[in-house]
Structure 1
């Protein structure tokens, strides 16, 4: 399961370091890649990120940067000091270009967030976009490719069409992954682990199906087995 293990990212979407540390301890060597987003980052998660990197784990900082060019660039420079493997920013062209320049010559994989997997066409209309989710995803994906980004974050439902746009080399990271029969929660565009890989995803982000499981290690192993198959 080595290949699958490198492609499974467990989302540490928990409220404090004690719970996050318990998750990491319970999963042990089963998992090698963790995502830290707003919730944990604002509760000491950036220090945990440094610890995970020191322990040989990979870290995906899901911070979705978006600001003026200088602020985005300085934020990327600070992230480089943490040693994270991946960092997200919203896929707006100016922000992406600033981030790419700041990370040039490093191993940090910058990921453009296209359309959140909790959003559907009605949500986009409410936000003022007169475009359907898939069309906006593809527009953002092309802009990310032109900016020199390392990859894309999108729903697995759009992974195949995004792959056609960005070519073979960019990472495609897909949240909203749910094992067959599991609760979708607030996600609206979801897919099983195996189907996501078949659709062209390179990395799968799985949070609640593992973190909320009674036996987290067993849940992770089940997902890895599905990915391997």
Structure 2
């Protein structure tokens, strides 16, 4: 795998199409994938995908689908028709929902690789227990959800680098591991409670790093992207 295909830049907190175009132009020599989440897809619609395609990069549509199986299946077909390369859904939606998504993807000539979100990096042990009323430890819950994703036929999972040590032994060969909450040394964690450095996450077994503010809010996004590329 080319090294820049391990870096997914989250196009968050950007308010104009021109700024999106500029950021992609500055960073694409070091970034192979661009992640588009709720904020930008709702703000700009499918037009946000155009500059990513024109740069020859891959599209990671981070919609975290979580609904009844039929609705999620139809959403996967719609994403396939947009030419998306990666698409997320919540593993907590259950095996039936995930399996419906996989079958929908397989019905399309070209389809995204489906990635299962396990436990968000903004959730810690206390939140998992006291608010979500889940009695497993955080790592146990991640492993449980990862196993469900594999059972349903997903291509990979999304989890914190902090959980990789626990979950890695339970993953099938070739199962992708996407790690958000990536912060180079010296960059604040912000609203995420479980973070890791780029090199640390790769060493722990991540196959793709999701990086946002460390690049998008840098004084020189190109230099920030290059530094991360070099570090891994």
Distance apart, 1:47 and its partner CA? 1.6
Give the corresponding residue for 1:41.
Answer: 41
Distance apart, 1:132 and its partner CA? 1.9
Distance apart, 1:180 and its partner CA? 1.0
Q: Which runs of 5+ in 2 are unaligned?
A: none
User: Which TM-score applies when normalising by structure 1?
Assistant: 0.93
1:84 and 1:53 mapped to 2: Cα distance?
A: 10
Give the corresponding residue for 2:164.
Answer: 159
Give the corresponding residue for 1:180.
Answer: 185
1:223 and 1:131 mapped to 2: Cα distance?
A: 34
User: Which TM-score applies when normalising by structure 2?
Assistant: 0.92
1:147 and 1:107 mapped to 2: Cα distance?
A: 16
Structure 1, residues 130-177: CA drift from partner, whole Å, max 9, x if none? 222111100000000111100000001112332211222111000001
Matched, 1:131 2:133: no
Q: 8 Å contact 1:177–1:192 — kept in the other structure?
A: yes
Matched, 1:73 2:73: yes
Change (3 A) 1:14 1:46: farther
What are the residue-to-residue correspondences of 1:1-229 with 2, within 5 Å?
A: 3-16=2-15, 17-91=17-91, 92-104=94-106, 106-125=110-129, 126-227=131-232
2:134 and 2:20 mapped to 1: Cα distance?
A: 36
Change (3 A) 1:182 1:208: same
1:75 and 1:173 mapped to 2: Cα distance?
A: 21
Distance apart, 1:51 and its partner CA? 4.0
Q: CA RMSD for the aligned pairs?
A: 1.5
SS in 1 for 2:87: strand
The runs of at least 4 aligned residues of structure 1 exceeding 3 Å deviation read none
Aligned residues: 226
Structure 1, residues 184-210: CA drift from partner, whole Å, max 9, x if none? 101111111111011110000000000
1:111 and 1:199 mapped to 2: Cα distance?
A: 19
